[in-house]
């Protein structure tokens, strides 16, 4: 679990140019009662939400709440962030470390599971706490990414010239400040065999003001080919602020892809997935992965069966051009890639 002070501490060490997103990050909503008031929700369910916070606190940026429909419990954005008492129930097959990432982490902050690419845990923090996320149990505090000395990870990458791509991940790497990201990416670009710099971030969706041309020049102004994989689960997440942020990246030459987690009650219907693909494309983003849920404790109520997932992909395939169909995958520990689920 990330201490509340982490996001604020990172905010304090920021460039002055990014005051507005730093402010949004420091002012996320953490009090369920405030959320209930803003959305005019029935307070009788407040104790249940507070119980859900015991395991993983509420955290949601105000800009994301602005896109929710007031008084609607079934709002697909609310469902992604609302803590529930039932998250504390135990379910067979659901665990705290479903991907066994803790044992796959010999160098602090670096995960090398797949050929040709490594993943760096750049920031343990996120702007938002998504209830279905495996991060809810990952002990990032012990990994202490914001304080990390990167030399060991960079030496590892330098010594293995099969590594062509470095992925900045987290948490959310864009919760880190730009000076740190500039320093790190400059050192990555200095390794001759690395060609591609990829960022995995939900920030363009949840705090779109994070993305400005100057604040992203460590990504767009490097010899490395820039790729960003954003994370959006529902078309309602993509408002005009998000589209503006994405168009800024697109103009600067960043290849934009999206990953979605298939979530019961949120996007396990054809309408949501069809509209999401179309909306992403209009914003300059291609669908990349549709992930089956990681079986993390607290998220069992989001599970969608493989059979239903395949049905949904078939419907998408019958209605959309091939380039708007995400690949349906499941992450499985020990495998050499995400595992495709074919029908
Ligand atoms: C998902 C993931 C990647 C990226 O995989 P792609 O299929 O290239 O998107 C890389 N490393 C780790 C550890 C991952 O979990
Ligand atoms: S933004 Fe990504 S890493 Fe952060 S809580 Fe959500 S799903 Fe997890």
What are the residue boundaries of the structural domains of the chain, listed by start? 4-88, 101-340
The model's pTM is 0.93
Q: 129: Cβ below 6 Å to ligand 2?
A: yes
Q: Which stretch of 79-88, 138-147, 153-162, 263-272 has the lowest confidence by average pLDDT?
A: 138-147
Topology of domain 101-340, per CATH? Answer: TIM Barrel (3.20.20)
Any idea which ligand is nearest the CA of 116? Answer: 1
pLDDT score for 144:
63
Using the atom order of ligand 2, give the atom closest to the CA of residue 134.
8
pLDDT band at 207 (very low <50, low <70, confident <90, very high): very high
Q: In what order do the strands lie in the sheet with 286-291?
A: 110-114, 117-123, 165-170, 196-201, 225-231, 255-261, 286-291, 327-330, 339-340
Residue 148, phi then psi, degrees to nearest 5: -65, 140
Ligand 1: residues within 6 Å at CB? 111, 113-114, 117, 119, 167, 337-338
Residue whose CA is closest, atom 3 of ligand 2?
A: 171
Could you give the percent of the chain with pLDDT greater than 70? 90
280, 290 in Cβ contact below 8 A?
no
Three-state SS at 23 = helix
Q: What is the mean predicted confidence (pLDDT) over 31-39?
A: 98
Q: Which stretch of 10-19, 233-242, 328-337 has the lowest confidence by average pLDDT?
A: 10-19
Q: 175: Cβ below 6 Å to ligand 2?
A: no
Residue 320 has pLDDT above 60, yes or no: yes
53 marked among binding-site residues:
no
Residue whose CA is closest, atom 8 of ligand 2?
A: 133
**Exposed, middle or buried: residue 201 (CB in 10 Å: 0-12, 13-18, 19+)?**
buried
CB under 8 Å to 128, separation ≥6 — which residues?
28, 59, 60, 61, 64, 81, 202, 206
Using the atom order of ligand 1, give the atom closest to the CA of residue 112.
13
pLDDT band at 8 (very low <50, low <70, confident <90, very high): very low
8, 148 in Cβ contact below 8 A?
no
Residue 5 has pLDDT above 80, yes or no: no
Joined together, the tokens standing for residue 244 give 């503006």
pLDDT band at 4 (very low <50, low <70, confident <90, very high): very low
Largest CA distance in the chain: 59
228, 219 in Cβ contact below 8 A?
yes
As a whole number, the mean pLDDT across the chain is: 92
Residue 142 has pLDDT above 70, yes or no: no
Residue 29 has pLDDT above 60, yes or no: yes
Round to whole Å and give the CA distance between 145 and 147. Answer: 5
Joined together, the tokens standing for residue 95 give 């665990």
118 C-alpha to ligand 1 centroid (Å): 8
169 C-alpha to ligand 1 centroid (Å): 10
Any idea which ligand is nearest the CA of 119? Answer: 1
131 C-alpha to ligand 2 centroid (Å): 9
Q: 231: Cβ below 6 Å to ligand 2?
A: yes
């Amino acid at each position: 679990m990330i201490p509340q002070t982490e996001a604020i501490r990172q905010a304090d060490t920021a460039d002055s140019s990014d005051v507005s997103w730093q402010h949004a990050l420091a002012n996320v909503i953490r009090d369920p009662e405030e959320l209930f008031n803003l959305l005019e929700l029935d307070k009788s369910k407040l104790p249940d939400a507070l119980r859900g916070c015991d395991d993983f606190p509420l955290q949601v940026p105000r800009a994301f709440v602005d896109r929710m429909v007031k008084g609607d419990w079934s709002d697909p954005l609310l469902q992604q962030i609302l803590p529930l008492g039932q998250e504390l129930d135990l379910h067979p097959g659901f665990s705290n470390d479903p991907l066994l990432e803790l044992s796959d982490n010999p160098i602090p902050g670096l995960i090398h599971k797949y050929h040709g690419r490594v993943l760096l845990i750049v920031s343990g923090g996120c702007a938002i706490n998504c209830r279905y996320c495996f991060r809810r149990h990952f002990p990032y505090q012990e990994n202490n990414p914001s304080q990390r000395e990167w030399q060991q990870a960079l030496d590892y990458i330098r010594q293995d010239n099969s590594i062509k791509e470095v992925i900045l991940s987290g948490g959310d790497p864009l919760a880190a400040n730009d000076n740190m990201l500039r320093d790190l990416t400059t050192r990555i670009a200095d390794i001759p065999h690395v060609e591609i710099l990829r960022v995995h971030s939900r920030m363009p969706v949840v705090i779109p003001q994070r993305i400005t041309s100057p604040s992203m020049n460590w990504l767009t102004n490097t010899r490395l080919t820039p790729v960003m994989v954003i994370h959006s689960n529902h078309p309602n997440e993509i408002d005009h602020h998000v589209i503006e942020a994405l168009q800024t990246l697109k103009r600067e030459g960043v290849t934009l892809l999206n990953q979605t987690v298939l979530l019961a009650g949120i996007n396990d219907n054809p309408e949501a997935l069809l509209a999401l693909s179309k909306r992403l494309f209009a914003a300059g983003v291609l669908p990349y992965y549709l992930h089956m849920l990681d079986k993390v404790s607290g998220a069992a109520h989001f599970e969608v069966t493989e059979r239903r997932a395949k049905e949904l992909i078939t419907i998408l395939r019958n209605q959309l051009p091939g380039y708007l169909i995400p690949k349906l995958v499941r992450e499985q520990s020990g495998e050499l890639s995400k595992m495709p689920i074919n029908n």
